[in-house]
Amino acid sequence: MTAETLSRRDWLGLIARAPLPLLEALWPDDPPPFDWLRRPETGAMMVQGRAGAVGAGFNLGEVSVTRASVRLQCGAIGHALVQGRSPRKAERAAVLDALLQTAAAQDVHARVLVPLQEAECAARETRARRAAATKVDFFTMVRGEG
């Protein structure tokens, strides 16, 4: 998937999963002036699981989440729902979401989303490679009888 085909759902997830230090490093700018629609507030959410991704749903456990909503002066509204208790991250994510709906989208895309996507791909690949290194192939030797 290339960066150009990212939907809003994709970039919301990408920003929400990114660690805050990486987000700050990629986008250290001061945010444009904005109003809070909802100040960052922390709560708990129940995460549901499904055994083998097909079984009946069950409650896996609660995670802390922080949500925030902002409105830029041009009227664009950004939402964020991030795991953890960092109001700072929720604010950054919400402002980025709003910016990605404005004329600044191209710039933010290139500066933030593309590196985030590359970092995520690289992390996934590293993990897959480390898992692959421990792979064991079992086989049965033909018993020499007769």
Partner 1 sequence: MTAQLTPGFANPPIEAAHAFRQVLEAMAHPGRIMGLAGIAAPAPCSAAAACVLLTLVDGTTPLHLAGAHDCAPVRDWVRFHLGAPLVGPQEAAFALGTWDALGPLAIYPQGSAEYPDRSATLIVECVALQASGARLTGPGIKDAAWLNLPDPAALRTNAALFPRGVDIMFTSGAQIAALPRSTQIGDA
Where on the chain is the footprint of partner 1 (CB under 8 A)? Answer: 35-39, 41, 69, 71, 75, 77
Q: Least distance from C-beta 79 to partner 1, angstroms?
A: 10
Q: Between 35 and 107, whose beta carbon lies closer to partner 1? A: 35
How many whole angstroms separate alpha carbon 50 and alpha carbon 142?
A: 40
Place of tokens 């990486």: 22
Q: Which amino acid is at 40?
A: P
| Residues β-bridged to residue 63 | 45
Q: Least distance from C-beta 39 to partner 1, angstroms?
A: 7
Q: Between 36 and 127, whose beta carbon lies closer to partner 1? A: 36
Q: Least distance from C-beta 37 to partner 1, angstroms?
A: 5
How many whole angstroms separate alpha carbon 42 and alpha carbon 85?
A: 6
**Do residues 116 and 22 lie in contact, with contact meaning Cβ atoms separated by under 8 Å?**
yes
Q: Between 17 and 39, whose beta carbon lies closer to partner 1? A: 39
